[in-house]
Amino acid sequence: MTSSEALTQLADPAQGWRQAVLAGLVGHSAEPLNCETPPPLLGGAVTPAGRFFRRNHFPIPDLDAAAWRLEVNGLVRRPVTLSLDELKSAGCESVTAVLECAGNGRTRFSPPAAGEPWGLGAVGNARWTGVPLADVLDKAGLLPGAREVIFRGADSGTVEGSAETIAFERSLDLSRALGSGALLAFAMNDEPLPVRHGFPVRLVVPGQYAVASVKWLTGITVTGQRFGGFFQASHYVYEWQRGGAVVREPVGAIAVRALITAPAAGDELTRGRLRVSGVAWSGAAPVHRVEVSLNGGRWRAADLAGERASRGWQQWELQAQTGAGAQLAIRVRATDRLGRTQPGQPEWNRRGYGGNFIHEVTVRLR
Ligand SMILES: Nc1nc2c(c(=O)[nH]1)N[C@H]1C(S)=C(S)[C@@H](COP(=O)(O)O)O[C@H]1N2
Ligand SMILES: [Mo]
């Protein structure tokens, strides 16, 4: 047991659940805490921490900031153990970035895919502030043979198929660790990171599915091998059925997606002028185009609103007319600068990752 593990308290699951439900989140489980944000609560430039989805595999550790240490070791010239003040003194940067669970949209797959039953709200956008991971690795000095960087969280528990207690661990290959703008973040929307989002320090890897963004970070190990941990090699791997074979591929860049945040499904609107708005993002490149279709009609371009986003989501809106029917079905799809558009039908995979289904909202007209 390391010193930081010995000092771990656990957050109260009943309280975590209550807070989430009061904030309007949809709860899937209290322990571990798994909750998502209904799309109408996702409008806006950033997602307030209170409304941000929560995704956990194990009980939430409530770490003592004064006792917290980050160990950086493995294939480095100068292994170090950093206190929070020492880490913060390494200089800080901020980035607004989307975190999206790789399983977001999973319940739309048919036949059903295995895993947490996420609708479309396991996503949020926040301004993260912290120390660039590349600077910390640079200070430690990578040794020849370094290939991957393993990140360890203070949370642990058992997973299916084994009685052994394991920590939450993930790795990044060196190019992503150094080149993706990853931060060791200690602030979310300019406030200290809440306990449930990784206090005191989490990794944030912009553009990658959020499983990469390890919370309650206590260890960084540089290795010459390929990391084969449970959350790296067993789960969070696409299992595509292609040509009679199963093709495995670890989840990586966040797939392009748009959500309608207003109006909400089931709203009753007055016929005539219509304003549709929402958010859109892609991990591979900034959003280039957002298109809306009304009642299955032609795709028309929405206006990109607010600031042009690079790693965060892009707000968008469309002004139109409702038409005369009793109902209106509104669909939206996004395209990024690499030309990736949301597909009509995302490719099925056993665990239902990357389900960037087109969002459709139906409203009533009067
Ligand atoms: N230590 C730790 N980090 C973790 C996880 C976890 O269970 N433990 N879950 C990951 C997954 S799958 C997701 S989607 C995001 C969720 O981050 P959030 O709860 O801050 O929204 O955290 C990632 N980092
Ligand atoms: Mo996730």
Question: Worst-scoring range by mean pLDDT, 20-24, 159-163, 245-249?
Answer: 159-163
CATH number of domain containing 165: 3.90.420.10
Of 203, 69, 220, 198, nearest in space to 139 by CA? 220
215 lines ligand 1 (CB under 6 A): yes
User: Tokens 């009061």 sit at which residue?
Assistant: 22
Boundary residue ending a domain (250, 268, 284): 250
Mean pLDDT of 140-159: 97
User: Tokens 């609103």 sit at which residue?
Assistant: 305
Q: Which residues contact 294 (CB under 8 A, 6 or more apart)?
A: 274, 320, 322, 323, 328, 329, 330
Ligand 2: centre distance to CA 270 (Å): 39
Residue 284's domain comprises 257-365
Ligand 2: centre distance to CA 94 (Å): 22
Q: For position 7, what pLDDT does the model report? A: 55
Mean pLDDT of 170-196: 97
Boundary residue ending a domain (225, 250, 275): 250
CATH number of domain containing 282: 2.60.40.650
Q: What residue's CA is closest to ligand 1, atom 9?
A: 56
Tell me, yes or no, whether 192 and 274 share the same domain: no
Tell me, yes or no, whether 113 and 242 share the same domain: yes
Q: Ligand 1: which of 56, 101, 120, 183 to mutate, most ligand atoms within 8 Å of CB?
A: 56
pLDDT band at 3 (very low <50, low <70, confident <90, very high): very low
Give backbone dihedrals phi and psi of 7, rounded to 5 degrees, phi first: -95, 5
Look up residue 346 and give its DSSP letter.
Answer: P
211-240 pLDDT, tens per residue?
999 999 999 999 999 999 999 999 999 999
pLDDT band at 1 (very low <50, low <70, confident <90, very high): very low
Tell me, yes or no, whether 241 and 143 share the same domain: yes
Whole-number Å distance between alpha carbons of 66 and 58? 23
pLDDT band at 308 (very low <50, low <70, confident <90, very high): confident
pTM: 0.97
Tell me, yes or no, whether 262 and 246 share the same domain: no
Q: Are 94 and 127 contacting, i.e. CB atoms less than 8 angstroms apart?
A: yes
Tell me, yes or no, whether 30 and 129 share the same domain: yes
Q: What residue's CA is closest to ligand 1, atom 19?
A: 54
Tell me, yes or no, whether 232 and 298 share the same domain: no
Q: What residue's CA is closest to ligand 1, atom 5?
A: 56
**How many Cβ atoms from other residues are within 10 Å of residue 244's Cβ?**
5
Atom of ligand 1 nearest to the CA of 100: 14
The number of folded domains in the chain is 2
